[in-house]
Amino acid sequence: MKKLSGWKARALLGFLLGAALTPLAVCLLSTMMLPAEAQAVGSAWAAGLHVVTPAMAEAFGSVGLAALVQSLLGGLFGAVVAVSTLPFADGGRELVVRSLAHFCATALSFSALLWVCRWLDDPRFIPLWVALLALLYALIWLGRWVGWYVEVMQLRTLLGLDPGPTPLKWRETLPYLPFVLLVCDGLPLVLRWVDRTFVVDVPVLSGLILPYLLLPVAGFCSGVSLGKRQGVCPLYPLACFVCYMPMVWLLFNSSALFHCFMVAIPALMGNVLGWLYRRAVPKKGNV
């Protein structure tokens, strides 16, 4: 059999993972989300273990048909996300165009999941979730762009032999520091302001989505980017931890100290994974 090309293989793998993980995510959220939290984000999920939301099962007439449609939509979303590396194949204007096109495809498939699967009861909340998706997308894109920019700087300064790393690779970590400050300091301030302004009762954005979604994903993806280019950089997860620490006391209290670990541990895991990838997959041109 003819092997699938790189992007087709990634899309197929993403489809399978998305189709499998979507019902698992619904089961997890249906057992964890409280009614007040669900109402704050435009949903009214019933308590208990569900493969699909009761509203979707009622709309499609059976749980089986609803679960099939949900898995297909989850697979579509997974396939789109899986080819997210493709927009970085080229540079300049084409990079921006392809990145915007990919985000539009991601937003459309995500919106279909929210509405067709009845994850939201009020369609007015879809723009809010798409905006959060855009924020997460921008953070991941920025993290990867920083890594690409570091590579460009290295190529421009390369004069024969590659110089040895600095102690604890502190200099190699410095280009990622603005990204860390944005994620660990700027983002919590913005989300806390949105919570206090628009979501009065339950701080959904800063209390739930930030520590359980945005911080781990941003830390992990940027850690992978750094590890693939510079290897293990032990100061990076430490920088994530330290930079978030002021937000614990400024916006929350000591009970939110675990937020620091929610960004530092994924950053460490991603950094090690990127380093392993760097060792396993040699760069083009290397023997």
CA separation for the pair 205, 61 (Å, rounded): 34
Q: pLDDT at position 219, please?
A: 95
The amino acid occupying position 207 is: G
The pLDDT tens digits for 220-251 are 999 999 999 889 999 999 999 999 999 999 99
What pLDDT score was predicted for residue 223?
Answer: 94
Residue with tokens 């059999």: 1
Exposure of 213 in the CB half-sphere (CA atoms within 13 A)? 15
CA 38 – CA 6 distance, rounded (Å) = 39
**pLDDT at residue 280 above 90?**
no
pLDDT at residue 245, as a whole number: 93
Q: Do residues 251 and 192 touch, judged by C-beta distance below 8 A?
A: yes
CA torsion, points 229, 100, 125, 266, in degrees to nearest 10?
A: 0
Residue 192 has pLDDT above 60, yes or no: yes
- Taking CA atoms, 88 is separated from 93, 121, 144, 253, in Å, by 11, 36, 9, 40
Query: Would you list the domain boundaries of the chain?
Result: 1-121, 125-281
pLDDT of 83 reads 85
**Residue 58: which H helix or E strand, with range?**
helix 54-60
Lowest average pLDDT, out of 48-52, 233-237, 282-286, goes to 282-286
For residue 218, give the amino acid letter: A
- Residue 183: pLDDT over 60: yes
287 pLDDT more than 70 = no
Contact (CB, 8 A) for 30 and 24: no
Indicate whether this model's pTM tops 0.95.
no
Q: Are 228 and 280 in contact (CB under 8 A)?
A: no
Predicted confidence at residue 91, as pLDDT, reads 55
Give the pLDDT confidence of 62-99 residue by residue, as tens digits: 889 999 999 999 999 999 998 876 545 455 677 778 88
Contacts of 196 (CB under 8 A, 6+ apart): 203
The H or E element containing residue 23 is helix 6-32
Task: Give the type of residue at 173.
Answer: T
Find the mean pLDDT for residues 26-52: 65
Residue 215 near residue 197 (C-beta atoms within 8 A): no
Higher pLDDT, 39 or 242: 242
What distances in angstroms separate CA 252 from CA 66, 81, 237, 240, 261, one per listed residue?
40, 33, 21, 17, 15
Q: Quick one: tokens of 126?
A: 């879809």
- The confidence band for 212, taking pLDDT boundaries of 50, 70 and 90, is very high
The size of the chain, in residues, is 287
Least confident of 87-91, 141-145, 205-209, 258-262: 87-91
> Is 50 exceeded by the pLDDT of residue 2?
no
pLDDT band at 120 (very low <50, low <70, confident <90, very high): confident
Rounded Cα distance between 187 and 214, Å, is 9
pLDDT band at 148 (very low <50, low <70, confident <90, very high): confident
Q: Which long-range contacts (CB under 8 A, 24 or more apart) does 5-10 make?
A: 7/83, 7/86, 10/82, 10/83, 10/85
